[in-house]
Chain A
């Protein structure tokens, strides 16, 4: 039980981290050249390659968490950072300082309020490793690998698209319902993560500096 939920939470955290890294990697001011010529087909391959274009070191986020335990959503704000090749960081600044770092195969968690630093190895969770690798494939533009791990559905067009991922693996399905990315061109605007029990979190991303 404990192990199961832990895995799920880690998967979710890694999903967020990795997906936001992609967001951080987009460059809104220099859209990819293809965007000038509208094309009939907007494929995952194209999306992956335009997400891959260019890299920004950090992006600001605001995340709303909806839980059945709560009467209203709780909000967190902070910065996402990506340092090539594989360091990803979610730095929560409000309401209290918390940091999650995925570096290589290790997740580091720091909390100011709890005064703890914990290191969790991705290797503890082989299932999770699959997710990470899938996401890394995304970062490096390997759409084929992404499709192997997720059922993918891309809707909309280049200017306004929504990518929905559902884990193919039955074990993954018990931990995660879906991840939905929405964005425009090579930029991700928001990420919605839905858990099987109906709880969800919505993260909005914007370029800029931390408050």
Chain B
């Protein structure tokens, strides 16, 4: 019995290596962005890169409430100060932020290149006279100290103009110098992280730091204030953690239930432990395969993958169900292997459709499932029998156990009735067939979404939804186009089609524009003459405007402003988020606020007739993306079914039998779709993906139900085994169906219903017990 020794030993050794590898080498990621697809159109790629790294994705909105406004203001001041010292954060806004010296220097030094009001007429005698009159007004006004310092070098007020046009968004109301909601119940802050909003680990440590600093600030003021965090990064962490926690919790509950059920069914702890051998091997092998192929394993893949690999547990159950005291495990295995092999193969084909779906999250899952499935099957075939001693019979199936009712005639009738009912439910249901709104897949509560909206409104932070996209081969090209778009956007803002917008060319003019402005600047002699004429009769001190004259002269040959000019300032980050390279092109994105009518806006933008300027509704676009993946998955599902049918034809060598095996599955899918729709659940990508699992399960059931078996006892054993398999599957996914996370619920509901329907249809449609041949 050397085989009985070295096979388990070898398995143990390999398993130990595998476990060591998994625990030490495997990099388990938690960044949701890693699971996002690449996108197939330019817009989709842009959307996805925005989602991954865009500014709006990196904003954290903070609200502090539950204390009197004075105390909230004190806390906000302290919190703002301590957050500004954190290198992981870019911009920290609470109403107190000011321009740095570097930014002031850029603006003052390049004022004649940056100001939108610089034209040739700006320096004519009459314009200068008007400007000087205004400066006199300023000097006699209580605001004099504000203006006084800049009058000699900037009598036309360019710096003030730049400052005003740069503060393009209405800040929130203030109380005691910090932003606060209009009713003074919430102090508001906005924080920009340097890392992507989807980098859940990095985001979480930042959130923790923010909370800790808040507690410091709040406890030193002694007020009972609360902190609310919101924004894409916060949601990403929450979604991630909720999915992970719930996947693991539900998996644990399901696994416990399954183990208990197996224990009750077979009354043998040893058997339960043995049944874990294939599935654990499958999980380890699958994780290593995913790591090897993708370079990392996502935490969510592991959670879902283990659930999918629950199918593997059916294989040892089949083996044990057929074990009798007089048979060796090898002999039993050999007897059921052809049926099991076909089941494994076809299920693997089903799972591999996930691999081809082009959606990284699903591809990881598919690879894990396929490799795990094959490994689990091989371990069941070659390792498990060696672990079972001669004559190990877990449970004698009682003679009273029904071998199989011969239902085929009545069964067909029943199946047809159910099918007709299901089809009519499917056709006449009010529920839309397909889920169109990606948002409904989000596990976030409506409360949180509303809170986010409210904070966004109060802070005047850009919505994550509407963008104007300007593309071009070079930075200069993009800037020129963006400049051309600005007057149009201003007009839309004036007609209230928009509440506001931000665009890169507001801060960084194109070189063409800057050169135009340089050309508009008069020569020193001309300017001096105009100025002398303009200031005739005004009480300005002689020679006061020399800095102005030399400033204009210097600007005529000054180096043009470009992205590098802003290096090291807060503006640099802003520019980077508004304009970035995308593959070999440059893209400027202009976040739009308060779009009144999206359809109207889209057609307005189209009427501009500029192909490289597009309006993008990110939400619409992500829905489209999801739909595209769903359709692709559906298509693959069809091809998968065809491939399965082909494999079955080869394996079973009988078209009739193939029909018998496939019919229950197709029926089950129709019934599941009807049940889902009847219960008011439109189908999403995740339902469709789970259909694959249902197909895999159904094949297994149908194949075993249609197996040619000699004796009544054999059939009773098969039925028993299938009942155990079906029940365990329904238990696992039934538990998932109770999940509050829409995706998990979708998978659980689909698989549980599907498993039940497959089992029922397979039993109803199975061929009559063959006469002993």
> Could you tell me which A residues sit within 8 Å of B by CB distance?
1-3, 5-6, 8-10, 12-14, 16-17, 63, 65, 67-72, 74-76, 90, 92, 96, 98, 100, 109, 111, 113-114, 121, 123-126, 129, 175, 195, 199, 201
A92 to B152, CA, bound (A): 25
Q: Can you name 20 A-B residue pairings with CB atoms under 8 Å?
A: A2-B146, A5-B148, A6-B143, A8-B146, A10-B143, A12-B142, A12-B144, A65-B144, A69-B139, A69-B541, A71-B540, A76-B140, A92-B141, A96-B133, A98-B137, A123-B173, A123-B174, A123-B175, A126-B177, A199-B148
Partner of A70, one of B99, B139, B145, B177: B139
Flag whether B134 is at the interface (Cβ < 8 A).
Answer: yes
**A67: nearest chain-B partner, CB-CB:** B139
- The reply to whether A70 and B176 form a contact with Cβ atoms under 8 Å apart is no
8 Å CB interface, B157-179 against A: 163, 173-178
B contact residues around A69 at 8 Å (CB) = 139, 148, 151-152, 540-541, 544
Report the Cα distance A124→B151, complex, angstroms.
Answer: 24
B183 at interface, CB cutoff 8 A? no
| Chain A residues closer than 8 Å to B303, beta-carbon distance | none
Interface residues of B in 528-564 (CB under 8 A from A): 539-542, 544
A6 to chain B, nearest CB (A): 5
Nearest CB of B to A105, in Å: 8
Closest approach, in angstroms, between the C-beta of B762 and any C-beta of chain A? 72
Q: Is the CB of A2 within 8 A of B104?
A: yes
Across the interface, do A70 and B146 meet the contact criterion of CB distance under 8 Å?
no
* Interface pair A5/B104, CB less than 8 Å apart: no
How many whole Å from A117's CB to the nearest CB in chain B?
13
A122 to chain B, nearest CB (A): 9
Q: Which residues of B contact A17 (CB under 8 A)?
A: 142
Q: Are the CB atoms of A121 and B139 closer together than 8 Å?
A: no
B143 neighbours in A (Cβ, 8 Å): 6, 9-10, 13, 109
Known A9-B144, A123-B178; further 10 A-B contacts with Cβ < 8 A: A9-B143, A12-B144, A13-B141, A14-B142, A16-B142, A75-B140, A92-B141, A96-B133, A125-B177, A195-B145
In the complex, which residues of chain A have a beta carbon less than 8 angstroms from the beta carbon of B540?
Answer: 69-71
Please give the distance in Å from B158's CB to the nearest CB on chain A. Answer: 14
Most chain B CB within a 10 A radius of its CB, from A5, A69, A71, A113: A69
Q: Find chain A residues with CB under 8 A from B231 CB.
A: none
Shortest CB distance B162–A (Å): 11
With contacts defined as CB atoms under 8 Å apart, how many contacts are there between chain A and chain B in the complex? 97
Name the contact of B146 in the complex, choosing from A9, A71, A201 (C-beta under 8 A): A9
> CA–CA, A165 to B137, complex, Å?
27
CA distance A75 to B141 in the complex (A): 10
| Partner among B142, B145, B163, B175 whose Cβ is within 8 Å of the Cβ of A5 | B145
Q: Which chain B residues border A92 with CB–CB below 8 Å?
A: 141
Name A195's closest neighbour in chain B (CB-CB).
Answer: B145
A127 to chain B, nearest CB (A): 9
**Contact of B441 with A by CB under 8 A:** no
Q: Which of B134, B141, B176, B539 touches A71 (beta carbons < 8 Å)?
A: B539
- Of A90, A100, A123, A129, the most chain B CB neighbours within 10 A belong to A123
A123-B144 Cα distance, complex, nearest whole Å: 20
Task: Please tell me if the beta carbons of B539 and A74 are within 8 angstroms of each other in the complex.
Answer: yes
Residues of A within 8 A of B539 (CB): 70-72, 74
> A121 — which chain B residues lie within 8 A by C-beta?
173-174
- Give the docked Cα–Cα distance between A141 and B144 (Å): 30
* A-B interface, 9 closest residue pairs, ranked by CB to CB distance from nearest: A13-B142, A123-B174, A9-B145, A126-B177, A9-B146, A8-B145, A9-B143, A70-B539, A65-B140
Q: List residues of chain B with CB within 8 A of the CB of A125.
A: 177
- How far, in angstroms, from A100 to B338 measured CA to CA in the complex? 93
Q: Beyond A70-B541, A113-B134, A123-B175, is A2–B142 a contact (Cβ under 8 Å)?
A: no
Cβ of B356 within 8 Å of any chain A Cβ, yes or no, is no
Contact at B137–A129, with CB atoms within 8 Å?
A: no
Contacts of B163 in A (CB 8 A): 2
Given contacts A121-B174, A123-B174, A123-B177, contact A5 B139 (CB under 8 A): no
Asked whether B95 is an interface residue with its Cβ less than 8 Å from the other chain, the reply is yes
Contact pick for A113, options B137, B146, B173, CB 8 Å: B137
> Which chain B residue lies CB-closest to A116?
B164
Q: Which residues of A contact B142 (CB under 8 A)?
A: 9-10, 12-14, 16-17, 90, 100
A9 partner residues in chain B, CB cutoff 8 A = 142-146
Taking CB atoms, residues of chain B closer than 8 Å to A100 are 141-142
Q: Once the chains bind, are A113 and B133 in contact (CB under 8 Å)? A: yes
Query: Which B residue sits closest to A100, measured CB to CB?
Result: B142
Assembly CA distance A98 to B148 (angstroms): 18
Residue of A nearest to B108 (CB): A1
A5, B544: Cα distance in complex, Å:
20
Query: Complex Cα distance A3/B96, Å?
Result: 10
Instruction: Give the residues in chain B near A74, CB-CB below 8 Å.
Output: 136, 139-140, 539
Q: Which of B137, B140, B148, B176 contacts A114 (CB 8 A)?
A: B137
Q: Quick check: is B597 within 8 A (CB to CB) of the other chain?
A: no
Kindly list chain A residues whose C-beta atoms are within 8 Å of the C-beta of B133: 96, 113
Docked-complex contact B176 and A98, CB < 8 angstroms: no
Q: Does B446 contact A (CB under 8 A)?
A: no
Instruction: Please give the distance in Å from A57's CB to the nearest CB on chain B.
Output: 21
Inside 8 A of A63's CB, which chain B residues have their CB? 140
The smallest C-beta distance from B461 to any residue of chain A, in angstroms, reads: 19
Chain B residue at smallest Cβ distance from A196: B145
Chain A residues with CB under 8 A of B134: 113-114
Q: When the two chains form their complex, are residues A5 and B140 in contact, meaning their CB atoms are under 8 A apart?
A: no
**A68 near B140 (CB under 8 angstroms)?**
no
Q: How far is the CB of B549 from chain A (nearest CB, A)?
A: 16
Inter-chain contacts of B174 with A (CB < 8 A): 121, 123-124
